[in-house]
Structure 1
Amino acid sequence: MKNRLVISVLLCFAAAAAADDLFAPLALPLPAGSSVTGVPSAQYWQQQVDYQINAELKPASATINATGQIHYQNNSPQTLTALWFELPLNRFLPDSISTALHGKGLGAAGLQQIRFSADNKELTLLRQDTFYRVSLAEPLLPGQRASLNVSWQLQLPERTDPRRPRAGVERFSDGSSIFGVALWFPRAVAFTDEGWALSPFIKDAEFATEQGNYQVNISLPAEYLLLATGELTNPEQVLTEAQYRAWQQQGSAQLLMPELLVPELLMPKSGDGTASKTWQFSATQVRDFAFAAGNKLIWQTEQLNINGRWQRLNVAYPDNGRWLWHKYALASTRHSVIELSEYFGEFPFKTMNVVNIGGIGMEYPGITFVGFRGPDAAINGPAPAYSRTEKHDVLGGIMHEVAHSYFPMLVNTDERHEGFFDEGIVSFLAYLLEQRWSTDFQSFYGDPKDVGAVMQQAAYAAPVRRADHFSAKLDSHYHVPAVAWVILRQHLIGPELFDATLRDFVGHWRGKRAKFADIIRFFHAETGLDLHWFWRGWFYSANHVDLALANVSSDDGTLTVTVDNRGGIVMPFQLKLTFADGSMTERRLPVDIWRLNNQQATVRFALAASMPVSTELMVLADAELSNNQLTEVDRLIN
Structure 2
Amino acid sequence: MKNRLLVSVILCFSFTYVVHADLFAPLPLPLPAGSSSTGVPSQQYWQQQVDYRISAELNPDSAMLNASADITYKNNSPQPLGQLWFELPLNRFLPDSISTALHGEGSGSAGITQISFSAAAQPLPLLRQDTFYRVSLPQPLAPGQSISLALQWQLQLPERTDPRRPRAGVERFGDGSKLFGVALWFPRAVAFTANGWALSPFIKDAEFATELGDYQLNLSLPADYLVLASGELQNAKQVLTKAQYQAWQRQGSAQLLQVKPDAAAGSKTWQFSAVGVRDVAFAAGNSLIWHTEQLQLNGSWHRLNVAYPDNGRWLWHKYALASTRHSVQQLAQYFGEFPFNAMNVVNIAGIGMEYPGITFVGFRGPDAPVNGPAPAYSRTEKHDVLGGIMHEVAHSYFPMLVNTDERQEGFFDEGMVSFLSYLLEQSWSTDFQSFYGDPAGVGAVMANSDYAAPVRRADHFSAKLDSHYHVPAVAWVILRQHIVGPELFDATLRDFVSQWRGKRAQFADLIRFFHAQTGQDLHWFWRGWFYSANHVDMALSSITRDDKMLTVMVDNLGGIVMPFNLKLTFSDGSIAERAIPVDIWRLDNKQAKVRVTLPVTMLVKTEPLKAELAVLADAELRNNQLPVN
For normalisation by structure 1, the TM-score amounts to: 0.94
- Measured in 2, the distance between the counterparts of 1:115 and 1:605 equals 76
Within a 5 Å distance, the mapping from 1:47-196 to structure 2 comes to 47-196=48-197
C-alpha displacement of 1:458: 1.0
List per-residue Cα deviations over 1:187-216 (Å, max 9, x = no partner).
000000100000010000000000000011
Q: Which residue of structure 2 aligns with residue 293 of structure 1? A: 284
Q: Which residue of structure 1 aligns with residue 303 of structure 2? A: 312
List per-residue Cα deviations over 1:140-191 (Å, max 9, x = no partner).
0000001100000000000000000000000011101110000000100000
Local SS of the residue matching 2:41: coil
The 8 Å contact of residues 168 and 181 in structure 2, kept in 1 or not, is answered as yes
The 8 Å contact of residues 58 and 64 in structure 2, kept in 1 or not, is answered as yes
C-alpha displacement of 1:225: 0.2
Q: Which residue of structure 1 aligns with residue 31 of structure 2? A: 30
- Measured in 2, the distance between the counterparts of 1:380 and 1:431 equals 30
List per-residue Cα deviations over 1:35-94 (Å, max 9, x = no partner).
000000000000000000100000000010001111000000010000000000000000
Local SS of the residue matching 2:67: strand
2:402 to 411, 428, 444: 411
2:470 to 472, 479, 487: 479
The 8 Å contact of residues 41 and 500 in structure 2, kept in 1 or not, is answered as yes
- Measured in 2, the distance between the counterparts of 1:621 and 1:256 equals 47
Q: Which residue of structure 2 aligns with residue 458 of structure 1? A: 449
- Measured in 2, the distance between the counterparts of 1:481 and 1:78 equals 37
What letter matches 2:597 in structure 1?
A
- Measured in 1, the distance between the counterparts of 2:592 and 2:560 equals 13
The 8 Å contact of residues 226 and 259 in structure 2, kept in 1 or not, is answered as no
- Measured in 2, the distance between the counterparts of 1:312 and 1:626 equals 52
What letter matches 2:211 in structure 1?
E
The 8 Å contact of residues 554 and 611 in structure 1, kept in 2 or not, is answered as no
Q: Which residue of structure 2 aligns with residue 268 of structure 1? A: none
Q: Which residue of structure 2 aligns with residue 617 of structure 1? A: 613
What letter matches 1:208 in structure 2?
A
Within a 5 Å distance, the mapping from 1:425-436 to structure 2 comes to 425-436=416-427
- Measured in 1, the distance between the counterparts of 2:247 and 2:560 equals 55
The 8 Å contact of residues 340 and 403 in structure 1, kept in 2 or not, is answered as yes
The 8 Å contact of residues 411 and 506 in structure 1, kept in 2 or not, is answered as yes
The 8 Å contact of residues 559 and 611 in structure 1, kept in 2 or not, is answered as no
Local SS of the residue matching 1:94: coil
The 8 Å contact of residues 302 and 313 in structure 1, kept in 2 or not, is answered as yes
- Measured in 2, the distance between the counterparts of 1:236 and 1:85 equals 35
- The structure showing larger relative contact order (alpha-carbon pairs under 8 Å, at least 6 residues apart) is 2
- Measured in 2, the distance between the counterparts of 1:84 and 1:582 equals 72
Local SS of the residue matching 1:474: helix
Q: Which residue of structure 1 aligns with residue 6 of structure 2? A: none
The answer to whether structure 1 residue 228 and structure 2 residue 196 are counterparts is: no
Local SS of the residue matching 2:408: coil
- Off by >3 Å, runs of 4+ in structure 1: none
2:596 to 605, 608, 614: 605
List per-residue Cα deviations over 1:203-261 (Å, max 9, x = no partner).
000000000000110000010000000000000000011210111010000001235x8
Local SS of the residue matching 1:23: coil
Local SS of the residue matching 1:337: helix
The 8 Å contact of residues 127 and 133 in structure 1, kept in 2 or not, is answered as yes
**Identity percentage over the alignment?**
78
What letter matches 2:142 in structure 1?
L
- Measured in 2, the distance between the counterparts of 1:465 and 1:132 equals 25
Local SS of the residue matching 2:69: strand
What letter matches 2:500 in structure 1?
W
The 8 Å contact of residues 301 and 341 in structure 2, kept in 1 or not, is answered as yes
- Measured in 1, the distance between the counterparts of 2:125 and 2:104 equals 30
What letter matches 1:568 in structure 2?
G
Q: Which residue of structure 1 aligns with residue 270 of structure 2? A: 279
1:523 to 506, 514, 517: 514
List per-residue Cα deviations over 1:444-495 (Å, max 9, x = no partner).
0000000001001111000000000111000000000000000000000000
- Measured in 1, the distance between the counterparts of 2:627 and 2:322 equals 51
- Measured in 1, the distance between the counterparts of 2:243 and 2:346 equals 20
- Measured in 1, the distance between the counterparts of 2:212 and 2:569 equals 60
Q: Which residue of structure 1 aligns with residue 366 of structure 2? A: 375
The answer to whether structure 1 residue 247 and structure 2 residue 252 are counterparts is: no
- Measured in 2, the distance between the counterparts of 1:516 and 1:413 equals 8
The 8 Å contact of residues 240 and 262 in structure 1, kept in 2 or not, is answered as no
Within a 5 Å distance, the mapping from 1:552-567 to structure 2 comes to 552-567=543-558
Q: Which residue of structure 2 aligns with residue 344 of structure 1? A: 335
Local SS of the residue matching 2:324: helix
What letter matches 2:609 in structure 1?
V
What letter matches 1:338 in structure 2?
Q
The 8 Å contact of residues 72 and 147 in structure 1, kept in 2 or not, is answered as yes
- Measured in 2, the distance between the counterparts of 1:473 and 1:512 equals 26
Q: Which residue of structure 1 aligns with residue 345 of structure 2? A: 354
- Measured in 2, the distance between the counterparts of 1:262 and 1:23 equals 66
Q: Which residue of structure 1 aligns with residue 317 of structure 2? A: 326
The 8 Å contact of residues 424 and 479 in structure 1, kept in 2 or not, is answered as yes
- Measured in 1, the distance between the counterparts of 2:47 and 2:435 equals 36
C-alpha displacement of 1:611: 4.3
Unaligned runs of 5+ residues in structure 1 are 1-15, 266-273
- Measured in 2, the distance between the counterparts of 1:242 and 1:476 equals 48
List per-residue Cα deviations over 1:351-376 (Å, max 9, x = no partner).
00000000000000000000000000
Local SS of the residue matching 1:108: coil
- Measured in 2, the distance between the counterparts of 1:485 and 1:588 equals 20
- Measured in 2, the distance between the counterparts of 1:587 and 1:433 equals 32
Within a 5 Å distance, the mapping from 1:541-556 to structure 2 comes to 541-556=532-547
List per-residue Cα deviations over 1:500-545 (Å, max 9, x = no partner).
0000000000000000000000000000000000000000000000
Q: Which residue of structure 2 aligns with residue 6 of structure 1? A: none
The answer to whether structure 1 residue 577 and structure 2 residue 568 are counterparts is: yes
Unaligned runs of 5+ residues in structure 2 are 1-17
- Measured in 2, the distance between the counterparts of 1:578 and 1:59 equals 71
2:624 to 620, 624, 628: 628
C-alpha displacement of 1:32: 1.2
Q: Which residue of structure 1 aligns with residue 239 of structure 2? A: 238
What letter matches 2:301 in structure 1?
W
The answer to whether structure 1 residue 424 and structure 2 residue 419 are counterparts is: no
What letter matches 2:179 in structure 1?
I
C-alpha displacement of 1:262: 5.9
Q: Which residue of structure 2 aligns with residue 13 of structure 1? A: none
The 8 Å contact of residues 105 and 162 in structure 1, kept in 2 or not, is answered as yes
What letter matches 1:306 in structure 2?
L
The 8 Å contact of residues 574 and 619 in structure 1, kept in 2 or not, is answered as yes
Local SS of the residue matching 1:626: coil
The answer to whether structure 1 residue 595 and structure 2 residue 591 are counterparts is: no
Local SS of the residue matching 2:367: coil
What letter matches 1:614 in structure 2?
K
The 8 Å contact of residues 225 and 259 in structure 2, kept in 1 or not, is answered as no
- Measured in 1, the distance between the counterparts of 2:595 and 2:486 equals 31
Local SS of the residue matching 2:83: strand
1:494 to 485, 488, 492: 485
Local SS of the residue matching 1:574: strand
Q: Which residue of structure 1 aligns with residue 216 of structure 2? A: 215
C-alpha displacement of 1:432: 0.1
